[in-house]
Each structure stands twice: as C-alpha cells, then as structure tokens.
Structure 1
Amino acid sequence: MQPGQAVIMEGELEKRSDNLLQFWRKKLCVLTKESLSLFPDAQKKSKCKELKFQSIKKVDCVERTGKYIYFTIVTTDNKEIDFRCLDQSAWNAAITLALIEFQNKAAVQSFRSQQGTNTRVAPCV
C-alpha cells in the first residue's frame, strides 16, 4: 500500500490458505483505489501482501451462507484467491466497485492514448 492513498474501506477479511488443509486466516485489509492490502496482524506492523488492481481480472463466485459471504478474486494469471467476510460487511461489493472503477479509468486512458491527445472524452463519474 502506497503512503497517502485514500482508504475506501478497512477491516477484517478471512483468506483461505493455499496449503492442503485450507484453513481460513483472519487478515486486516485495506482497500484503496489502486489495490487491496492484506496484513497478517491488526497493528499493520508485518509486511503486507498487496493485490494491485492491475493484476486482478475479476471478483467471482459470490455465495452467501447464513453468516458469511464467500468470494474469489481471480488474478490476470488465473490464480484464484478465496475470501469470506461477514454478511453485513459487504467487502465483496466494495472490492468489485473499486476494481470496476480502476478498470474503467484504465480503459479510458488506453482509448485516449490510441486516439491521440486531441480527442475529448467525457470524464467518468
């Protein structure tokens, strides 16, 4: 996470481990316009794992059970990272909206660079 980035959402998510037993591990997460950062401890003292939106393809497989919402982040290299959050926290929606905004801005920038600097495009709201 870059210093000075505006925080959209901060709180606890659970990430399923990659090992054979696939335990759910609590992570302190910070969502910004550029990435989702995962800290192993609540004090943010340990090094975080940062999932930059440029390397995320989509948020997928949303399933709701009584207590949790389960969802998967799919990276551009097709790696799947499983998460769950409490039903009322709406982490999946916040991540999806931030990712869509990031992808839309990237698409507009790409379009502008292909069309040249003289073309005017209405800004995204």
Structure 2
Amino acid sequence: MRDGQLEKRSSGLLQLWKKKRCVLTEEGLRLHSCRGGGGGGGGPAPESGWSSKAKELRFELMTTVDCVEYKRGMVYFTVVMTTGKEIDFRCPQDGTAWNAEIALALVRYKNLQAVQTGRNRHMYAEPLGSTGEDEEL
C-alpha cells in the first residue's frame, strides 16, 4: 500500500530517533532497520542499506494512532498498541502524511474485521422463534 521512510523513537534510555524503512500493508506496518547506522543524507538509502529482517506492527494489535503534533517541519505521532505500549514516530511535514495513512489503514482493517464478525454471527445465528406464518405457505 505504501513504502517510505519514517523515524522511530528508540525505547532505550537515550530515546534516539532512528530511521526506518516502513512498508504499510493490509495487515500492518513493517519496519526495516538501516544497516549502516546513523544514516544521514537527505535522499532515500539504497535498497541494500536496509535490513531484510523486519519488525511488524500488526493492526490486530493496534488500538489507535494518536498524539499528532506539528513542530519544526516535522509531524510527531504515536501508535498505541492493545497492550498499552506507545510507539513514537516522526516524519517530515511536507512529505507523506504517514500518520493519516496508518490511521486510515487501521480503520479500514477494523471495519473489515467488524463486517466479517457480523457476517459470521448472521451465518451461524439460531433462527428466531417461528410465528407459524411460513409453515402454511
């Protein structure tokens, strides 16, 4: 659905911003680390500069995209997981609106889940009591 670069705040003591290659899919957000460390430079890193191993944030484990703030040309936002864990991200304000893209994909996923749950309930629901009207037809 979408592929690009985001910065994720590390959970360590220093909470440094680390560049990640992000791939937004139907099921969630895949985060690839930069192999070279540090990164730098304004352009996209070459394909070989990204780790093939990815961390996946699945929509089924996400609650919401929250805390959108605009500061110094950057958009800061938080992905809240069902466990209560909050993961902070930032991206350039003039680029892709990642927060909106992730939020829309999450809503789309949750809506599809709700429709499937409704269909399953309808398919397996016990028929309601008969009024006797259909028996005579």
Tell me the TM-score normalised to structure 1 length: 0.83
Provide the C-alpha distance between the structure 2 equivalents of 1:65 and 1:74, rounded to a whole number of angstroms.
Answer: 21
Q: Which residue of 1 aligns with 2:5?
A: 12
Unaligned runs of 5+ in 1: 1-7, 119-125
Mapped pair 1:32 → 2:25: yes
Corresponding residue SS for 1:94:
helix
Residue type matched to 2:17 in 1? W
Give the C-alpha shift of residue 45 in structure 1: 3.5
Largest Rg, 1 or 2: 2
Q: Which residue of 2 aligns with 1:95?
A: 102
Provide the C-alpha distance between the structure 2 equivalents of 1:32 and 1:78, rounded to a whole number of angstroms.
Answer: 22
Q: Identity of paired residues, percent?
A: 50
Q: Which residue of 1 aligns with 2:78?
A: 72
Mapped pair 1:54 → 2:47: no
Corresponding residue SS for 1:26:
strand
Corresponding residue SS for 2:110:
helix
Provide the C-alpha distance between the structure 2 equivalents of 1:45 and 1:78, rounded to a whole number of angstroms.
Answer: 27
Residue type matched to 1:12 in 2? Q
Tell me the TM-score normalised to structure 2 length: 0.76
Residue type matched to 1:92 in 2? N
Detail structure 1 runs of 4+ shifted over 2 Å in the superposition.
Answer: 41-46
Provide the C-alpha distance between the structure 2 equivalents of 1:15 and 1:93, rounded to a whole number of angstroms.
Answer: 16
Give the C-alpha shift of residue 117 in structure 1: 6.3
Give the C-alpha shift of residue 66 in structure 1: 2.7
Question: Could you say what the CA RMSD is over the residues aligned between the two structures, in angstroms?
Answer: 1.5
Corresponding residue SS for 1:47:
strand
Q: Which residue of 2 aligns with 1:21?
A: 14
Provide the C-alpha distance between the structure 1 equivalents of 2:51 and 2:86, rounded to a whole number of angstroms.
Answer: 26
Provide the C-alpha distance between the structure 1 equivalents of 2:23 and 2:123, rounded to a whole number of angstroms.
Answer: 36
Number of aligned positions between the proteins: 111
